[in-house]
């Protein structure tokens, strides 16, 4: 099976008065159709920027985005519209991502109208089908966002994203603002929709238990760079990068009899403005040495398992 999406050496820099922010710095991965890739990392690591750059909400600074075998890195307006039908996004905050002046019907109908594919009765039928698909009650047809709770609003956001039958959806922290019991409903919905429609997800989140549940593979990001990527199972069983180890050990465990052995890392994430070459985690890393000041390369350790750390073999006692 060929990859639905390939991202090669993608960079997204922002110029600010303080310097250049390296939000996404040389990220490479590929994603197969029908799969879910989780992107994890802490605030400011560039995971949302990565998602937004891939679907062209922001123009990439450098690198290549290949979607369905076609280079879509730089597109003209007309081609962009066509691409957007296939690439959609569900945003984090269901309280601010919906237009407060559009009803549920109007929110979901808008992309259908703009695409010129539906009109009149067919349009209304399609809106109703989408509402049913994402589990919004018919009585809420004319309701406005402020009249609904977070879970329902997020369903509306998902309905709108699905309207044009996309192949690829970036889910940017779609359940972070929701309570556990509601979060479970929305995660189930996303998984059901994926199965029925062969959707491919890029699931951006800081919640590792959610990502473990929903993803086939995971990218761990730190300050704009990919530090480790492999299958979900492999990451939770055999994480190799010192940052991945610290990140996974930091999740508070609900198992009161087997508390996680915590690796508490010192300090906080440093500024992504004009970073020095070399490993960006080095300042907090317990294994940092001279060699870490050199630029790091993503290296294959085993099939499908890539790590960007010059001491990875030594730390994990691999041959």
Partner 1 sequence: MKNITEESKHFLSVQDMVVQYRSEGKVVMAVNGVSFDLDKGKTIGLVGETGAGKTSIAKAIMRILPDHSTYQNSGKVMLDQEDIMSIPEQEMRKLRGHKLSMIFQDPMTALNPVKSVAEQIAEAVRLHSDSNKVQAMKRAKDMLELVGISADRANEYPHQFSGGMKQRVVIAMALACDPMLLIADEPTTALDVTIQAQVLEMINALKEKLNTSMIMITHDLGVVAETCDTVAVIYAGQVIEYGAKEDIFDRPAHPYTVGLFKALPGMNKSSRRLSPIVGMPPDPTDLPSGCSFSPRCPYADDACKRDAVGMQEITPGHTCRCLKAPL
> Which spans of this chain sit near partner 1 (rule: CB under 8 A)?
42-43, 149, 151, 179-185, 187-188, 191, 206, 208-210, 212-214, 246-247, 249-256, 259, 262, 264-265, 268-269
Judged by beta carbon, residue 72 or residue 221, the one nearer partner 1 is 221
Judged by beta carbon, residue 20 or residue 184, the one nearer partner 1 is 184
CB-based contact 209:218 (threshold 8 Å): no
In the complex, minimum distance from the CB of residue 7 to partner 1, in angstroms, rounded to a whole number: 24
d(CA 267, CA 282): 11
d(CA 220, CA 234): 13
Dihedral in degrees, nearest 10, Cα atoms 47, 42, 285, 255 = -130
Judged by beta carbon, residue 142 or residue 188, the one nearer partner 1 is 188
In the complex, minimum distance from the CB of residue 247 to partner 1, in angstroms, rounded to a whole number: 6
Judged by beta carbon, residue 141 or residue 213, the one nearer partner 1 is 213
Judged by beta carbon, residue 115 or residue 185, the one nearer partner 1 is 185
Q: Which two tokens stand for residue 40?
A: 């994890």
In the complex, minimum distance from the CB of residue 6 to partner 1, in angstroms, rounded to a whole number: 27
CB-based contact 149:122 (threshold 8 Å): no
In the complex, minimum distance from the CB of residue 116 to partner 1, in angstroms, rounded to a whole number: 37
d(CA 319, CA 312): 10
Judged by beta carbon, residue 112 or residue 189, the one nearer partner 1 is 189
d(CA 15, CA 272): 12
Judged by beta carbon, residue 11 or residue 206, the one nearer partner 1 is 206
Dihedral in degrees, nearest 10, Cα atoms 263, 266, 272, 274 = -130
DSSP 8-state symbol, 29 = E
How many separate helices (H) and strands (E) can be counted in the chain?
10, 12
d(CA 297, CA 278): 10
In the complex, minimum distance from the CB of residue 76 to partner 1, in angstroms, rounded to a whole number: 39
In the complex, minimum distance from the CB of residue 284 to partner 1, in angstroms, rounded to a whole number: 8
In the complex, minimum distance from the CB of residue 152 to partner 1, in angstroms, rounded to a whole number: 9
In the complex, minimum distance from the CB of residue 84 to partner 1, in angstroms, rounded to a whole number: 30
List C-alpha distances in Å: 297 to 41, 208, 310: 19, 25, 8
Judged by beta carbon, residue 271 or residue 302, the one nearer partner 1 is 271
Q: Which residues contact 122 (CB under 8 A, 6 or more apart)?
A: none
């Amino acid at each position: 099976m060929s990859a639905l999406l390939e991202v090669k050496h993608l960079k997204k820099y922002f110029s600010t008065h303080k310097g250049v922010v390296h939000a996404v710095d040389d990220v490479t991965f590929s994603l197969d159709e029908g799969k879910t890739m989780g992107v994890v990392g802490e605030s400011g690591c560039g995971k949302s920027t990565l998602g937004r750059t891939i679907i062209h909400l922001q123009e990439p600074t450098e690198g290549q985005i290949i979607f369905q075998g076609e280079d879509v890195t730089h597109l003209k307006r007309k081609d962009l519209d066509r691409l957007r039908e296939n690439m959609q996004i569900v945003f984090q905050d269901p309280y601010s991502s919906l237009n407060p002046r559009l009803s549920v019907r109007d929110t979901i109908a808008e992309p259908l109208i703009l695409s010129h594919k539906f009109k009149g009765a067919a349009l209304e039928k399609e809106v109703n089908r989408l509402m049913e698909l994402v589990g919004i009650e018919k009585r809420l047809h004319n309701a406005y966002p402020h009249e609904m709770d977070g879970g329902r609003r997020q369903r509306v956001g998902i309905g709108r994203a699905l309207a044009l039958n996309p192949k690829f959806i970036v889910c940017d922290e779609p359940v972070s603002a929701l309570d556990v019991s509601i979060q479970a409903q929305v995660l189930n919905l996303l998984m059901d929709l994926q199965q029925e429609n062969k959707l491919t997800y890029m699931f951006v989140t800081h919640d590792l238990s959610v990502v473990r549940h929903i993803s086939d593979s995971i990218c761990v990001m730190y300050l704009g760079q990919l530090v480790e990527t492999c299958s979900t199972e492999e990451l939770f069983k055999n994480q190799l990068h010192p940052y991945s180890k610290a990140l996974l050990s930091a999740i508070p465990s609900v198992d009161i009899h087997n508390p996680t052995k915590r690796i508490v890392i010192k300090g906080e994430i440093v500024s992504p403005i004009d970073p020095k070459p070399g490993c960006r985690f080095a300042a907090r890393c317990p294994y940092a040495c001279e060699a870490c000041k050199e630029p790091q390369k993503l290296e294959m350790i085993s099939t499908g398992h890539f790590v960007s750390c010059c001491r990875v073999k030594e730390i994990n006692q691999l041959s």
